[in-house]
Amino acid sequence: MISGVRLFYTLVAGVLIAGAGTAHAAGPVDPGGAAWGLPQLMQGMAEVKSERRRFTEKKYLKVLTAPLESSGVLVYRAPGHLEKLTLQPRKESMVLDQGVIEIVEPSRHVRRTLMANQYPAVAALVESMRATLAGDASALTRYYRTTVQGAAAHWHLQLVPLDAAAREVVREIRIEGRANNITGIEIVGMDGDRTVMAVGDALPASAQAK
């Protein structure tokens, strides 16, 4: 009913999902040096099929004098399954699977299912994240202006939304990584809010079981 509000919040959920990108295991990267860029980065990413990593996140909101901190686990399975499982300070989960987002907040009795493609901005954000992780460069550039800096060993990927609706919420997304590892993600909102996520090492294989 209050779909303006719903849209807005869904957008944000999309952004957070987009922030839920997970790091990739180290793999062979073409050490081509000067020729290194988005295609090579994507090619390396595409080799990673599944993974679990810890994260810590700090949310800097302009209404607060101190950041809100949280931590948990990120899960990725190629080609389109992402989970952000927050463990501290409260259990929460957001799961993207084939374009469907499910949000569960047990402490507040919230369980919601959203179709990413019902909201153009969310579609852009979610699809681009999926595209990044799946190494789908053409899908990524459909939604974002991309800038890659650095080299395979240590790189920065800057994403600026092309879609007007997405730009109302997110100014840019900065992803930092080493080889096929994402090590950090920063989402800068239009109103000066920032979410900074540090992605840690891979969890042991035994933890792969759901």
Partner 1 sequence: MRARWRVVVWLGFVALCVAVIGRTHFNTDMSAFLPRSPTPSQKILVDQVRDGVVSRLILMGVDGAPPDTLARISKAMAEQLRKQPAFASIANGESGGQRRDFDFLWRNRYLLSPNVTAAHYSAAGLRASLQDYLDLLASPMGALAQKMLPNDPGGELIGMLQRLEGQVRPAMHGGVWFSADGRRAMLLAQTVAPGSDLDAQEQAMRAIRLAFDRACSAAHAGTAQLRMTGPGVFSVESRAAIRGDAMRLSTIATVMVSLLLLAIYRSPRALVLGLLPVASGALAGIAAVSLGFGSVHGITLGFGVTLIGEGVDYAIYLFAQVAPGSAAGETLRRIWPTLRLGVLTSICGFSAMLFSSFTGLAQLGLFSISGLLVAVATTRWVLPDLLPAGFHVRPRARLGAAVMAVVDTAPRLRVPVFAAIAVVAALLVARHGSLWDDKLGSLSPVPHDLQVLDEQLRRDMGAPDIRYMVIARAADREAALRASEALSDILGKEAEAGVLADFDAPSLYLPSTAAQRARQAALPDSATLRQNLRQALRGLPYRPGLFAPFLKDVARAKRQKLVDAAGLRGTSLALKVDSLLLKRPEGWVVMLPLRDVKDDSALRRALHAGGVPGVMLLDLKDEASGMFLDYRREVAKYALIGVAAILFLLAVSLRQARRVAEVSLPLAAAVVGVIAWLVWSGHPLTIFHLIGLLLTVAVGSNYALFFDRQETSREVRERTLTSLLFANVSTVIGFGLLSFSRAPVLAAIGSTVALGAVFSLLFSAVLIRRGLSRDG
Q: Using the rule CB under 8 A, is 102 a contact of partner 1?
A: no
How far is CA 135 from each of CA 63, 132, 182, rounded to the nearest angstrom? 37, 5, 13
Contact between 60 and partner 1 per CB under 8 A: no
- The reply to whether 6 sits near partner 1 by the rule CB under 8 A is yes
Q: How far apart are CA 105 and CA 101, in angstroms?
A: 13
Helix axes 3-19, 120-134, angle to 10 degrees: 10
| Binding range to partner 1, per CB under 8 A, among 4-12, 128-136, 180-188, 200-208 | 4-12
End-to-end CA separation in angstroms for the chain: 36
Establish if 204 lies at the interface with partner 1 (CB under 8 A).
no
Residue in 117, 147, 149, 208 binding partner 1, rule: CB under 8 A: 117
Cβ–Cβ under 8 Å, residues 33 and 40 = no
Site of interaction with partner 1 (CB under 8 A):
1-9, 11-13, 16, 59, 61-66, 68, 70, 89-90, 92, 94, 103, 105, 107-108, 110, 112, 115, 117-119, 169, 189, 193
